[in-house]
Structure 1
Amino acid sequence: MPRHTLICTVGTSLFYPNLVGLPSSETYESWLNKQPDRDRPYLSPDFVEKLKSNWSEIQQQPIDDRNWQPIAELLAELPSTVRLCGAEINSIFDLIDRHYCTPDCKLYFCHSATEDGRQIAALLTHYYRVKKYQVEDPKEIEHLQDTHPKLFRTKGLRNLAKAIGKIVRETGSEFCAIDATGGYKAQIAIGVLMGQALGVPVYYKHERFSEIIAFPPMPVSLDFELWQNHSGLLEALEREELLLWENVAEDWEEKMEVTIKREDIDSRSYITLSPTGQIFHDTFKSRFDASKDEYLPPPVPRDRKSRPTLPDHGWENARSLILRLLQTITDDCPYVCGCRTHYWNPSLPSVTHFRLQGEQIEGIFSRGNWTVKFYVDASAKTSGQQAACIADLNQRLKDWI
C-alpha cells in the first residue's frame, strides 16, 4: 500500500555542485555536455542564464531574508527527474512514480543544523508548495552538523532518530516512509535502523542508480523484556545525557552495550545513549504506551492507599522533599498502595530510577550528594504486571523530579 507521509533527510547536492556550478555564457556548452543526455533539452541557454541570475541575486540578500520563491518556480518548470533539481527532488519523484508513496503525500524535511541545511530546506519547501504538495515546516536537527564531530556522533544522530520517531508515532508507522537519500552518510544507517525498529520502509537513491532502492522493514528481534528491565536507565540517559558508569554498573547487562557510547572525562568513565539506544528506547516506549493498560495491574481503592511516613531522625534537609515524592507516587499511580523507605545515604549520589530488586519494586531517588531508596507496594500479582509498573513509573519520573 502506498504511504501518504514521506520523511526526507536533506543534503546539499542542490546547492553543491548544482546551483553553485551553473555556467556563464562562455562555459555553457562544456557544462551542458556534462549533463545527462535526457536532461539537455530542458536546459536551454535562456533558462540556465535566468536560473544563474536569480541564484546570484539571492547570494546578495541577507541570509535570514533570502527569498527562494523565484528559484523554486524556475525549478518547478523542469521535470523532477532532471539531475540539476538535486537528490531530494529526484528521489521523491521516483518514490511517487513507483507508487511507494501517494501522489499527494505529506512531506517532512529533516535538515542539518547548518546554514546550508536551513536554506536548502527552505528552497525545497517553496518548491513543493509551488507544486501544491502538503509540506510541513522544515525540522532542524540540533547538533547534526560537521563542525563538531563529537556532537554529531553523540547528539546529532540521536536527535535525528528522535525526530523521525516522533513523526512516525504521531502519524502511524503503516502510513510512513523514509527517504534517506539526502544528507550525511550516517543518516542512511539511522534511517535503516528506524525502518527496522518501527516497521517503516526506507529508500535511497544514488545519482548513479537508475532507480531508487528500498531497505524494507526486516524481522529484527528487539527484546521488549530487555527494555522493560532497563527502562529506568534508558530514561535516565535520556534525561541526563551523561551518567557515571560506576553508578549503573551494578544493574548492567552486556546485551545493553549496543545502546550506549562510553566516554572518559577527567579519568572517570561515563556512558551516554547511542543513536541505536535512542531508537531502541523510543520504539519500545511507544509500543508500551499503546498497550500498557493491558499489562498494568488493577487500581487500588483510595481507602487502601497508605500515607508515607519517615522517622524523625536523619534525612537532613531532604525529609519534606522525600515525603512529597512518595506521596505523589502513591497519589498519581492507580496501582500503587504505598511507599516505604529502607535506605538513606547523605553522601552518596546515584541514578534516579525504578528497578526490580529481588521480588520488589525499588525506587532510587538522588538529589545532589544524597540518595534514598524505597519499596513501592503495588497491586501487581504477576511478574509481567510488576515489570509494567516499573516501566510506567520510570516514564512518569520526569514529571516528579
Structure 2
Amino acid sequence: MRPATTLISTVGTSLFMPNLAGLRGDDPDPERRRLAVAYAARDWGAVASALASLPPTERTCGAEVNSIASLLTRGYAVPDANLFFCHSDTDDGRAIGRVLAAYYRRVGHPVAETRPIDGLQDSDPRRFRTEGLRNLAKVVCRLVRDYGPDACAINATGGYKAQIAVAVLLGQALGVPVYYKHERFDEIIAFPPMPVALDVRAWMRHSGLLALLDAEGRVPTSALAEDLDDGGEILECFVDRVEVDGEEYLALSPTGQVVHETFRERFRTERDRFLPPAVFASDKQPPKLGDHGVILRHREALRRYLAAITDDVPQVRSCRTVYCNPDLPRPLMFRLRGEEVQGTWSDGSDAVTFAVQSSATTDGQREAVVAILNDWLQARR
C-alpha cells in the first residue's frame, strides 16, 4: 500500500481524561508542569505548544498523537500528510479537536483541520446511533471523495468503540486502509481493504428509499410499507426503526449510510457499465395521462414532471400514469415493481403512480434505470 497523503482520524477524550486531568501543577518535570498549568487554564493553544515539547510516543499525548506517530514511523502516511480530525459533538470533543489541529500545524502539517460530527455524543444513545454514526460516515465519505481513495487512510484509534466498527466498514466499502492502535500495543495494526465489493445491484434497486432517507432524515414507516415489503431482509440491514411521539419512523442505519454514500458515488462514476443504451430522440414520446379526477386536477404539473423525466434521462422513452389516490401523499421516488420501473408524483396531498418505459431489457439494466432516475430526482431536491 502506498503511504497516505490524507489521514482521517476519529477523536476521543483520553487526552483530557485521564491524561491531562491527572497532571499536577507542582510536577517536578517542567514540561509536564507547563502542560498541567495550560490545561487548568483551558488555554488550548498553550496546551498544543506544551504537547509539542513531549515525545509523540509518550502516553500523556493521547491516543490520537500516539497512533499518528506510529503511522508516520511505519511509513503508512507521508510525513506532511493532510490531517482531518473527526471529533464528537461535545465541549471536550471540540476542545481536543482544536488542540490537535494546533499541535499538528505546529509540528509541520500544513493541513490540520477539525470536522465536528453532529449527534456523536454519549448523553443520548438513540441520537448517537441514528445521527452520530451516520454523520460520521457522511463526513468520512465526503473527505475520501474530495481527496481520492488512493490518497486516504482512516485512523480509527480515538473515540467511541462503535466508531471502529463503522470505520472498518467504511474502509472495506471505499477501498481505504483503516488503522487502529490499542494503548497496550507497541505498534499500530492495519485493516487493509478487502479485494471484493458489496453488491451494487442491491443499492440500485433500493436507491430511491435510501436517497429519500438520506435527504429527509426520517420518514414514517406507514408511507414506505410497500418498499419495505419489496426490500426483504437486505433492506432491514440498511435502516433503523425509531419511535417518535408514538409513531414509527424509518431512518438510515450507519451501515445504510455507508452503503448509500459508497454506491451513489460509484454509480455516478461507473454508471455507463450498468445502464442500457440511450433512446434516440426521435423515439421519445410525450406523457400518457389518464382521466382520473386526481390527474385532471394536476394535469399540467404532472405533464411537466413526466416530460422532464423523458427529456432529461437518456434511457427513458416515455411515461404513463397507472394509478392515483386522492388524499394519500407518498414520497417521491422511483422503484422496481416486478419488471416495471415505477415512479411517484405527489403534491403533498394527492399521489399518482406512473410507469417509466425505458430501453432496459434485463433486470440489471432496469435496476440501473431506477438508480439513475433516483439520482435525477436527488439533484432536483
Q: Taking structure 2 as the reference length, what is the TM-score of the superposition?
A: 0.92
Residues of 2 paired with 1:114 and 1:259: CA distance?
A: 27
1:198-231 CA distance string (max 9 Å, x none): 2222111122222212222235652222112111
Which letter maps to 1:361?
V
1:350 and 2:333 correspond: no
1:5 and 2:10 correspond: no
1:376 and 2:356 correspond: yes
| Matched residue SS, 1:310 | coil
Which letter maps to 1:263?
V
1:49 and 2:29 correspond: no
Instruction: Tell which deviates more after alignment, 292-301 or 386-395.
Output: 292-301
Residues of 1 paired with 2:298 and 2:180: CA distance?
A: 55
Picking from 369, 377, 380, the partner of 1:397 is: 377
| Matched residue SS, 1:84 | helix
Residues of 2 paired with 1:168 and 1:341: CA distance?
A: 41
Counterpart position of 2:16: 15
Q: Taking structure 1 as the reference length, what is the TM-score of the superposition?
A: 0.87
| Matched residue SS, 1:187 | helix
- Do 1:87 and 1:182's aligned partners in 2 also have CA atoms closer than 8 Å? yes
| Matched residue SS, 1:252 | helix
1:130 and 2:106 correspond: yes
Residues of 1 paired with 2:112 and 2:299: CA distance?
A: 49
1:229 and 2:205 correspond: yes
Which letter maps to 2:316?
V
Counterpart position of 1:37: none
1:124 deviation in Å?
A: 0.6
Unpaired runs of 5+ residues, structure 1, are: 29-43, 60-66
1:205 and 2:181 correspond: yes
| Matched residue SS, 2:293 | coil
1:181 and 2:157 correspond: yes
Which letter maps to 1:15?
F
Residues of 2 paired with 1:302 and 1:158: CA distance?
A: 41
Residues of 2 paired with 1:93 and 1:265: CA distance?
A: 45
1:143-179 CA distance string (max 9 Å, x none): 1112222111111100101111111122222221111
Instruction: Tell which deviates more after alignment, 116-125 or 294-303.
Output: 294-303
1:285 deviation in Å?
A: 1.5
Residues of 2 paired with 1:321 and 1:145: CA distance?
A: 44
Picking from 218, 224, 232, the partner of 1:242 is: 218
1:346-382 CA distance string (max 9 Å, x none): 1223332112223222112234232111111223344
Counterpart position of 1:156: 132
- Do 1:325 and 1:400's aligned partners in 2 also have CA atoms closer than 8 Å? no
Residues of 2 paired with 1:198 and 1:20: CA distance?
A: 37
Counterpart position of 1:117: 93
Which letter maps to 1:256?
L
Which letter maps to 2:320?
R
Residues of 2 paired with 1:82 and 1:133: CA distance?
A: 20
1:291-318 CA distance string (max 9 Å, x none): 1123223333434332325356622653
Counterpart position of 1:275: 254
1:276 deviation in Å?
A: 0.7
% identity of equivalent residues = 49
| Matched residue SS, 1:297 | coil
1:290 and 2:266 correspond: no
Which letter maps to 2:149?
S
Counterpart position of 1:86: 62
Which letter maps to 1:103?
P
Residues of 1 paired with 2:192 and 2:81: CA distance?
A: 19
Query: What's the RMSD between the two structures over aligned residues?
Result: 2.1
Counterpart position of 1:31: none
| Matched residue SS, 2:186 | coil
Larger radius of gyration: 1
Residues of 1 paired with 2:156 and 2:277: CA distance?
A: 44
Residues of 2 paired with 1:55 and 1:245: CA distance?
A: 48
- Do 2:101 and 2:113's aligned partners in 1 also have CA atoms closer than 8 Å? yes
1:275 deviation in Å?
A: 0.3
Aligned length: 376
1:45-91 CA distance string (max 9 Å, x none): 2222322233333x3xxxxxxx6333222211221111111111110
Residues of 2 paired with 1:199 and 1:3: CA distance?
A: 13
Counterpart position of 1:147: 123
